[in-house]
Amino acid sequence: MTQGSRPGRGNQRPQGSGNGRGRGATGAGRSDQNPRSSTPRSGSERGTESSAGSWSKAHGGPKQSKKAGAPGKKKYGGPQAFGKERFGKNLGPVNAERTRPTQRAQAAAAHSDLEGVRLQKVMANAGVASRRVCEEMIANGRVEVNGVLITEPGIRIDPEHDSVHVDGMRLQLNADMQYFVFNKPRNVVSTMEDPEGRKCIADYLRKQGQTRLFHVGRLDYQTEGLLILTNDGEAANRLAHPSHEVPKTYLVQVRGPLPSGIGAQMKKGIKLEDGWQSVDSFRLIDSTPGHVLVEVILHSGRNRIVRRLFEEVGFPVTRLVRVQVGPIRLGDQKQGTIRPLGKQEVGHLLAMVGM
């Protein structure tokens, strides 16, 4: 990056609500004869319909654990970056610690081509805001290039090699990088092909005209909910790596009643066959005769970890839905659908893993 010659100017429900009109993230609230439904309703399950509102409420906005968040988030004044986007409006300030560039990397960036692109133009082209608003963001100290705070709009950068953060969010300047959320239904394999001929992720990607994507992590055959799909290999590796401790939020349905002390036991730690494991957060959402709905947050990516934890304490899972990964929420997305992440969501996601 260099100085220019002159300054220039982003519900899950276990059952229906009774009238069958509610629609959660997995299409709950419809009968099992409807192909869009994700919630088979046996005779024993109909009694849990009074808890559907709680499932929906929790699914729309599960709380993060203290471990997943961080105190003292920096607040930025002025217009919001990517303020016109539908998704990611309520994510708030980025609170992740990024890996600072080495002196060699900063020195290399400092020798960018003099014919580079002005910073405010790069930001505007990325959809942050108008060029004039981008100039104000730069002047107000809300923009970093290669880890260095920039307050001069005349700076020129190389979009192919320089990294830009606005309000802590990483701008993805490579238009070839794609990020999606897939709401995985039950009885779908989290692979791109299955030798047994079962439904897999690729079957849904082909409907969208997308095939050259891969999934970040997995959900077991019976588990529903959020899977991130991308062609960004570095981001996928970081999101899946245990060192980044990306929090994952699940809604868990078990047969009740659930004794007091189970949550404290899970937060303290439970010994499994592959070692000790604990949850970051355990919150009772709703309880009706014979059924309990719990929200758990944990950062482990071990195989079938949530199911194994509940089995260990004597309460096998009857339904499991992942509703959030890091800052990305499933919301009211229909089951079996794929949607692109908004630029704010991408920026928060990349910042969370130090990019």
The pLDDT of residue 114: 59
299: left (phi over 0), alpha (psi -120 to 50) or beta: alpha
Please give the structure tokens belonging to residue 140. Answer: 């107000």
The answer to whether residues 37 and 23 touch, using CB atoms and an 8 Å cutoff, is no
SS3 3: strand
SS3 246: coil
The answer to whether residues 258 and 292 touch, using CB atoms and an 8 Å cutoff, is yes
* Cα–Cα distance, 233 to 250 (Å, whole number): 25
Q: ω into residue 257 within 30 of 0, thus cis? A: yes
Strands 214-216 and 224-230: antiparallel
The pLDDT of residue 207: 73
CA dihedral 311, 192, 207, 318 (to 10 degrees): -10
SS3 67: coil
What residues contact 161, with CB distance under 8 A and at least 6 apart?
108, 109, 112
* Cα–Cα distance, 272 to 280 (Å, whole number): 17
Element (H, E) at 6: none
Per-residue tens of pLDDT for the chain, all 355 residues: 544 444 444 444 444 444 444 444 343 344 444 434 443 343 334 333 333 344 544 544 444 444 443 334 555 556 666 655 555 555 665 655 554 555 555 555 554 445 789 999 999 999 999 999 999 999 999 999 999 999 988 899 999 999 999 999 999 999 899 999 999 999 999 988 889 999 999 999 887 766 688 899 899 999 999 999 999 999 999 999 988 889 999 999 999 889 989 999 999 999 999 889 999 999 999 998 889 999 999 998 888 999 999 999 999 999 999 999 999 999 999 999 999 999 999 999 999 998 8
**Residue 6: CA atoms inside 13 Å, Cβ hemisphere, count?**
0
What are the domain boundaries of the chain?
2-7+85-170, 179-345
CATH topology of domain 2-7+85-170: 3.10.290
Specify whether domain 179-345 bears CATH 3.30.70.20: no
* Cα–Cα distance, 291 to 269 (Å, whole number): 24
- Known catalytic residues are 220
The answer to whether residues 347 and 355 touch, using CB atoms and an 8 Å cutoff, is no
